[in-house]
Amino acid sequence: MIKQKKKFNENTFLLCITVGLFFAMYIAGMIVFRKNGFARFQVFLNLFISNASLIVVAVGMTVVMITGGIDISVGSFVAMSCMMLANMMENKGYGAVSSVLIVLLIGILFGFVQGFLVSYLKLQPFIVTLAGMFFARGMTAIISQDMISIKNPLFLSWATRKVFLPFGGTMNKRGVLIRPYIYPTVIIALIVLVLIFFMLRYTKFGRKIYAIGGGEQSALLMGLNVRRTRLLAYILDGFLCAIGGILFCLNTCSGFVEQARGFEMEAIAAAVIGGTLLTGGVGNVFGSLFGVLIKGTIETFITFQGTLSSWWTRITIAALLAFFIILQSILGSTKNRRRNSK
């Protein structure tokens, strides 16, 4: 009993740091930028609005990372999905619904190919997804080198429909109540988050994912089909990336080659900051949500501050990622030492 409690502490220690860090940053933001209205509820909701696609992609990344793998093709794939959507709707005359379905299918296919190479040919996930990253970015350029903006009315109506919340409104200077709103993208992202959370925790497939990440040999000896589980994890990741790509496109309503550069880093950082171990076997999608929110808060700081270049977001995220993986590594090595000394 006591032992179990201790294990719980070790696994959630990083997550606690993350949640604490997020609240500390957010409260600091409220104090520093109180004149600019940082404390408004809408600012908080904007974190979700601008990062809806990152949440979904980070969830997919978390699943793959729990199996002990990684996927650095996500940023390019998001760009490719946006470009495909834009191209199909504007140049090829497809409808919004069929374009979305095709992108989802391609996401599954992309995940299948990467997963097959990783699980059945036992290639290093990094090499495979690095190739995937360049492949998807190159394909984006092959589809079109110019920016395509989407004018499909149905798609735009999805993108611009505001969902007003019944609470948390603020009065503006004229005394008119401004109700806070979100976009449908946020709802989709949160549904995906909750679904994957329950899948990982309560389904056979989810437990298998943890099992093969915790120790491939033991999972194999337990009679789990390691290869198939890993393949399915990559397929799920590809599917989630496609959803992420669609959400990203709903946010930008355009497709161009340079879109979503560095997205893979943000997704990996979100997962790692959220307590997912790079060595696999440990991870929680809600942790990744907080990772995304931290990134969003940094971005909001930079927007509110106004003079800093947007490059600082990336540098801060990289620094945070470095900090957290060093922390993981230190925690991991003390754990090993303790185990060895026993």
Measured on CA atoms in the order 66, 104, 259, 29, is the torsion positive or negative? negative
Taking the least distance from each CB to other proteins, the nearer of 52 and 272 is: 272
* Total Cβ atoms within 10 A of residue 339: 8
Minimum distance of other proteins from residue 144's CB (angstroms): 11
φ, ψ of residue 273 to 5 degrees: the values are -60, -35
Q: What is the DSSP code (8-state) at residue 35?
A: G
Taking the least distance from each CB to other proteins, the nearer of 6 and 122 is: 122
Minimum distance of other proteins from residue 133's CB (angstroms): 8
Which long-range contacts link 315-321 to residues 24+ away (Cβ below 8 Å)? 317/265, 317/266, 317/269, 318/265, 318/269, 320/269, 320/273, 320/294, 321/265, 321/268, 321/269, 321/272, 321/273
Enter the tokens of residue 10. Answer: 């070790």
Measured on CA atoms in the order 235, 193, 95, 87, is the torsion positive or negative? negative
Amino acid in position 126: F
Minimum distance of other proteins from residue 127's CB (angstroms): 6
Minimum distance of other proteins from residue 329's CB (angstroms): 4
End-to-end CA distance of the chain: 19
Minimum distance of other proteins from residue 274's CB (angstroms): 15
Which residues form the interface with other proteins (CB under 8 A)?
Answer: 70, 72, 117, 120-124, 126-128, 130-135, 137-139, 141-142, 145, 257, 262, 264-265, 268, 278, 309, 311-312, 314-315, 317-319, 321-322, 325-326, 329-330, 332-333
Minimum distance of other proteins from residue 83's CB (angstroms): 12
Taking the least distance from each CB to other proteins, the nearer of 72 and 249 is: 72
Taking the least distance from each CB to other proteins, the nearer of 49 and 325 is: 325
Tokens 């005394």 correspond to what residue? Answer: 175
Minimum distance of other proteins from residue 276's CB (angstroms): 12
**Separation CA 337–CA 99 (nearest Å):** 53
**Separation CA 320–CA 49 (nearest Å):** 22
Taking the least distance from each CB to other proteins, the nearer of 180 and 244 is: 244
Taking the least distance from each CB to other proteins, the nearer of 10 and 258 is: 258
Comparing CA positions, the residue from 251, 192, 227, 241 lying closest to residue 67 is 227
Taking the least distance from each CB to other proteins, the nearer of 141 and 156 is: 141
